[in-house]
Structure 1
Amino acid sequence: MNPIARIRKHPGILAGVYLWLLSTPLWAAPGYVVTTDSGSRKVLRDALPAANAKPRPVDLEAARNEHESFQVLISALGRDLARVQVSVTDLRSRAGATVPSRHIELRLAHYIQLTDGVKAAFPGGWYPDALPPLEGPFAVKQGHNQAVWVNVYVPTETPAGTYTGSVSVDVDGAVTRVPVRLRVREVTLPVENHRGSAFAIWGDFLARHYGLESDSAEFRALYERTYWFLTDYRLPPDDLPVPVDSPEAARYLEDPRVTSFRIPYDPNDPEGFQQRVAYLREKGWLSKGYVYTIDEPGRDHYAECYTYGKAIDALAPDVKWLLTIQPEPPMYGAVDIWCPDLAYINRGRIATRQALGEEVWWYTCIGPQHPYPTYLINDDATSARVLSWLQAAWRIQGGLYWSVNIWGKWDGQRYVDRDVWTDPLAFPGGNGDGYLIYPGKTAADPPVPSWRLEMIRQGNEDFETFWLLEQALRQTAQRLGLPAERYDPHTRVEEIVGRVAQRLTRWERDPAVMEQARRLALAEIEQASAMPDALVATSVLDGAETTAAAVSGSVWVQPGTQVRLQARPERGRAFTVPTWNAPGAGAKPVAVRFTLPLGEGVTDLAIQVRRDGQTRTIRRQFRRAASAPVVPSHTFCAWKTPQDVAKWTIANVTVDLTRRDDLGACAKLTYQPNVEFPNIRLLEPTGFTQTDWRRYGHLVLTFHNPNDDEVLLHFKPFDRKGTAEDAYPILLEPRRTSRFSYSIEDLGVDTSDFHGFELWMSQLEQPVTIYLGPVVSSAQAP
């Protein structure tokens, strides 16, 4: 669904409706309305709600040491609003505990107009981004929304329980009060972070904006405030405010929130580097450090980079070298931290390198863009948050971002001045890319966070929630005596994340779905310490869609435990598996195994375990897909006749029909050198006539790379409106045959009105030959 249409359809936060609504009316007088919504949804300035819209009570759930947000929207429908004030009360529990209002931030959303660098999925318009502090009454022009961001921090010492209060909106003397309910879980997020961070502060932009000298005391104080500001968002920057081998470094490197930092390295000063490393090693800080001095090297520089990395290893074998490339065989043995762009993530290679003790981080920079997650302004709010979810599920150990404060504008040769409050483009093609904070009014003021930065912090807190869940399940396995090879607690993290995000280009953008999964994780952390101990593993991942007719599983319990399973299929009657009594003797865990038939639709499974008078219930859900309403298979190009070649629009590529044992009939494609973007295109009407490709399910491309080196190809789909997505690199490994499958619904263009696709390469220095097998579709991903 178009995001703007979705905004109009769901103007309020998805929350329960409570019987304890306050007596003050919940809707405003004619001429304006007050509504509420999730903080994880962006509402554009002119996406006005219906005149009869009402604010829904706010329902929050949080761990201790966590931030939770929502927004209050004041919409001026029929007149200008001259004076609007928003305030919030303390949140109190029945037991008398309080979350004081001083821990609740109010920020007034600043809207910025986007006209360039926009796409069909997120068109131009006025987007909320900067979140300066709310400092008093404000006005709202007729025809505009004005969001007030409300950010609740739950202190570590807060008792678990339910807290209530309200937000008041005073519009020209008429007051609307909205109930707020906060459930504080018996869960405390750790102070320390469990992922690396290299989000860069560009000091020259800090200095230039405020007219400071980079060696002045005022600048050093400004940099330090910015450093701690980002650290509070669980994003410790790459460079410390002080030399890493100075006594002052202890204040940073002994802080548990600082999990990573950059170690300066100059290949012309090996002795100085070794002395610096020896100091860090002696202090016990070296494991947090890394060297990052080369950025995005091309393949023609790999040999040089390999030598560079081995030189660092020879000087200090325990220092990690970070390089911003995907794992590449020519660099194996020289790189300690691989940091690929999102577009080049290869999970198989990642797992292989991690098994050898190497780390994998990732980054985004201008691209790839939608349908990938981004930190762009013209994207869903959940986009900046979901990256941390995928990090947790895929064991990505850190994140890098090139700058949080590019307050200038790149003109093709240098950075020139830019008004950050009106111009969203620091760099061409990426609205908001390169900056996540806005300057405070003076050098003494803290930076102003962006909506995107707030979402990144929420995602980082979610990452810690998943870390806690995995630790809690691991402790349960240890109490049961269950060896690691029989139960992997990380699978449960993958299952819960999988309810929201299955891959980088397929994830649920509705914040309500993300919130439901997040609350499930919090609940299971609490339950993991409840008795009796029990763990569940199933052949089909919980929450995932499957075509299987049955699911099998195991319930591990202590001896003497009763296990009872009850299934509730969406279609048909509920049924109960007879109670199974685990033998009462012995100390080893007992596995209760089961097989559950699955009908089409959703089947809910409740697993009740009982021991020594204590009972707990573990729930799982399985979704069996209905028969797919797509064409089982379709061949777009068989590569058997010259007519197959004629289907393609060809630019600087030689196409020859041939045959291979691994591909069958295929095309030998030779991409020509010294030209920009040689390509072949399969476009309607010459390539095909059916423009509604939703019926095809998945597009399947099979290649063979006969070369000794990798080949980088790009897949680019188009729709008939002119929208294109350039976010699909195809990395062909040397002397291998590889298959790539693309979900039609996730291509990022209108596949109900599809124009076709292109296979292109960047400008080459010499011809490159690859083979392309028959171009086909498949109902399911191969």
Structure 2
Amino acid sequence: MPTLVLWPARPLERVFKDSQPVRVGEPLRLSCVRNEYEGCMFGLRSDENVEGVRLEVSELRSASGAAIPSSRAKALFVNSIPLTRNTPLTPPEELERLAPCEVPDPLLDAEEVNLEAGVTQPCYYRVHVPPDAKPGEYRGFVRAVAADGSSAEMEVVVTVHPVTLPSRRSLYVTNWFSVENIAKACGAELWSEAFWKCFEEWIAMMSEYRQNVFWVPLDTVKVFKRGGSYDFDFSVFDRYVEILLKHGADLIEVTHVAGFTRWGGSEVRLRSFRVVQEDGSVAEEPGEAVLPHLLRALEAHLRGKGWLEKTVIHIADEPTEDGIEEWRRVSRFVREHAPSLRRIDAVETTGFGRDLEVWVPTLHHYDQWMEEYEEARREGAELWFYTCLNPVGRYPNRFLDYPLIKVRIFHWINYAYGLQGFLHWGFNWWWKDPFGEPNPDLPPGDTHISY
């Protein structure tokens, strides 16, 4: 019968497929406050090929008899992503591993896996401490059991401190997502009943992982032309937003009304719209014609629904110094037609004055131009920060080859500098295969955190 081995990692330590068993016999230790989710990787290995291995978790019990039920804990298998290149412009000492390598990241919903002899299966243990848990040390176990009856067990020790996190979230978090990729992943036609069911499952999952800001494509508003005027159908928009609010959205962000003709450029163009004509045909019409009517209708609709205070709208993504004047022109255009709708954008410069309510600079630009951004805050702006393919080097980011501390520290930065939100563009913008080689044009891990 094969010999299975379990061993714990330390918090913020990855377990790789070639990791060797260490600390065998030691418990997996976590330190938590009440109402906190906390997790840690662990390794599983066999000296022979073995099939049908599953993971089991026990309840956690303190010496006084207090218990954290097993339903609050999960043990998950972790898949690995192949990397053939590292994040550019990053010193080797800032990388956890040099390519080529495989990096553990996707948490699998597989009930069981087969183990290859001498190859480590990365795993992840997670616990949600109840808000009413008594402080103290709780003990339990994780067990691996194979179809042939072979097994291994590892003790889990969770220390609960006498502090309780509030359930109400105080930080805005948004990861932009592709509704088209959700539809493809579900094998459903966009906006069909099958899509809506799947979409709600995705939103529920995102909310469970503490996302509370969700973007809404402007194309969810259908545009009709009647004579010389426009009519708008908000039925898809409303169903979309109602799902977001059902799952705890604190803010909705309407997608961009314009875009730069090239990144870093000075020319901004209003987006166009597909408009249903009186004869039922569909024609592309310019934003200059549609947006004045759409923006007024959108603001009135949001006000009527009671959603106006929960909504922000994007102007044009990532304005730089060369494009700021054109960006401000478009922003004033939006303000003219929707004067009560707050504006938000990811920005690559300063100097937006009163033409932007929510400023979202990249982390390294906030670092470089902190005084200018803080002056904007003193004048009434709300400040967030964002990351994307930048920053690199010694800055934190969520790239697959960066140490986990560079992700964990994100929201400590929010706290330390009073930045009210975090934005990232890449929730599910997969390349060819979510589990395959990452997009070679972007740093690994930039495109998606869902699989």
| One-letter identity of the residue aligned with 2:203 | Y
Q: Determine if the alignment matches structure 1 residue 376 to structure 2 residue 392.
A: no
Q: Determine if the alignment matches structure 1 residue 38 to structure 2 residue 16.
A: no
1:297 aligns to what?
319
| One-letter identity of the residue aligned with 2:245 | L
User: Helix, strand or coil for the counterpart of 2:344?
Assistant: strand
Distance 1:270 1:314 in 2: 9
Structure with bigger RCO (C-alpha 8 Å, 6+ apart): 2
User: Helix, strand or coil for the counterpart of 1:184?
Assistant: strand
Closer, same or farther in 2 for the Cα pair 1:104/1:366, shift >3 Å? same
Q: Determine if the alignment matches structure 1 residue 149 to structure 2 residue 124.
A: yes
| One-letter identity of the residue aligned with 2:251 | S
| One-letter identity of the residue aligned with 1:43 | V
Closer, same or farther in 2 for the Cα pair 1:435/1:285, shift >3 Å? same
Equivalent position to 2:299, from 269, 277, 288: 277
2:74 aligns to what?
105
Distance 1:46 1:57 in 2: 21
1:125-180 CA-to-partner distances (Å, cap 9, x unmatched) read 111011112403x3322332212211111233434443221222346645443222
Deviation at 1:302, TM superposition (A): 1.8
1:164 aligns to what?
139
Query: Contact (CA 8 Å) 2:80, 2:105: kept in 1 or not?
Result: yes
1:340-391 CA-to-partner distances (Å, cap 9, x unmatched) read 2223222212211111110122222222223221221111122222111111
Closer, same or farther in 2 for the Cα pair 1:350/1:198, shift >3 Å? same
| One-letter identity of the residue aligned with 1:343 | H
Equivalent position to 2:193, from 217, 220, 233: 217
Closer, same or farther in 2 for the Cα pair 1:285/1:186, shift >3 Å? farther
User: Helix, strand or coil for the counterpart of 1:129?
Assistant: strand
Distance 2:53 2:242 in 1: 46
Distance 1:362 1:395 in 2: 10
Q: Determine if the alignment matches structure 1 residue 181 to structure 2 residue 202.
A: no
1:263 aligns to what?
254
Equivalent position to 1:337, from 358, 378, 382: 358
Distance 2:118 2:80 in 1: 14
The equivalences for 1:750-769 within 5 A come to none
Deviation at 1:405, TM superposition (A): 0.8
| One-letter identity of the residue aligned with 2:449 | L
The equivalences for 1:621-636 within 5 A come to none
| One-letter identity of the residue aligned with 1:145 | T
2:433 aligns to what?
419
1:573-592 CA-to-partner distances (Å, cap 9, x unmatched) read xxxxxxxxxxxxxxxxxxxx
Equivalent position to 1:58, from 28, 32, 36: 28
User: Helix, strand or coil for the counterpart of 1:133?
Assistant: coil
Query: Contact (CA 8 Å) 2:60, 2:67: kept in 1 or not?
Result: yes
Closer, same or farther in 2 for the Cα pair 1:251/1:324, shift >3 Å? closer
1:736-780 CA-to-partner distances (Å, cap 9, x unmatched) read xxxxxxxxxxxxxxxxxxxxxxxxxxxxxxxxxxxxxxxxxxxxx
User: Helix, strand or coil for the counterpart of 1:349?
Assistant: helix
Unaligned runs of 5+ in 2: 221-233, 258-286
| One-letter identity of the residue aligned with 2:60 | L
Q: Determine if the alignment matches structure 1 residue 367 to structure 2 residue 337.
A: no
User: Helix, strand or coil for the counterpart of 1:305?
Assistant: helix
Closer, same or farther in 2 for the Cα pair 1:356/1:198, shift >3 Å? same
Query: Contact (CA 8 Å) 1:45, 1:144: kept in 2 or not?
Result: yes
User: Helix, strand or coil for the counterpart of 2:160?
Assistant: strand
Query: Contact (CA 8 Å) 1:79, 1:142: kept in 2 or not?
Result: yes
When the two chains are superposed, the root-mean-square deviation of aligned CA atoms in Å is: 2.9
| One-letter identity of the residue aligned with 2:79 | H
Query: Contact (CA 8 Å) 2:388, 2:446: kept in 1 or not?
Result: yes
Distance 1:86 1:246 in 2: 41
Distance 2:211 2:18 in 1: 33
Query: Contact (CA 8 Å) 1:228, 1:236: kept in 2 or not?
Result: no
Query: Contact (CA 8 Å) 2:2, 2:48: kept in 1 or not?
Result: no
Distance 1:82 1:100 in 2: 29
The equivalences for 1:559-578 within 5 A come to none
User: Helix, strand or coil for the counterpart of 1:60?
Assistant: strand
| One-letter identity of the residue aligned with 2:207 | T
1:68 aligns to what?
38
1:397 aligns to what?
420
Deviation at 1:92, TM superposition (A): 2.1
Deviation at 1:85, TM superposition (A): 3.9
1:313 aligns to what?
335
Q: Determine if the alignment matches structure 1 residue 432 to structure 2 residue 435.
A: no
Distance 2:240 2:252 in 1: 14
Distance 2:381 2:246 in 1: 24
2:408 aligns to what?
385
1:664-695 CA-to-partner distances (Å, cap 9, x unmatched) read xxxxxxxxxxxxxxxxxxxxxxxxxxxxxxxx
Deviation at 1:95, TM superposition (A): 4.4
| One-letter identity of the residue aligned with 1:152 | V
Distance 1:67 1:349 in 2: 36
1:81-121 CA-to-partner distances (Å, cap 9, x unmatched) read 45644321111234443221122112101112211245633
Closer, same or farther in 2 for the Cα pair 1:253/1:209, shift >3 Å? closer
The equivalences for 1:553-564 within 5 A come to none
Closer, same or farther in 2 for the Cα pair 1:254/1:146, shift >3 Å? closer
Q: How many residue pairs are counted as aligned between the two chains?
A: 394
Query: Contact (CA 8 Å) 1:75, 1:143: kept in 2 or not?
Result: yes
Equivalent position to 1:358, from 369, 372, 381: 381
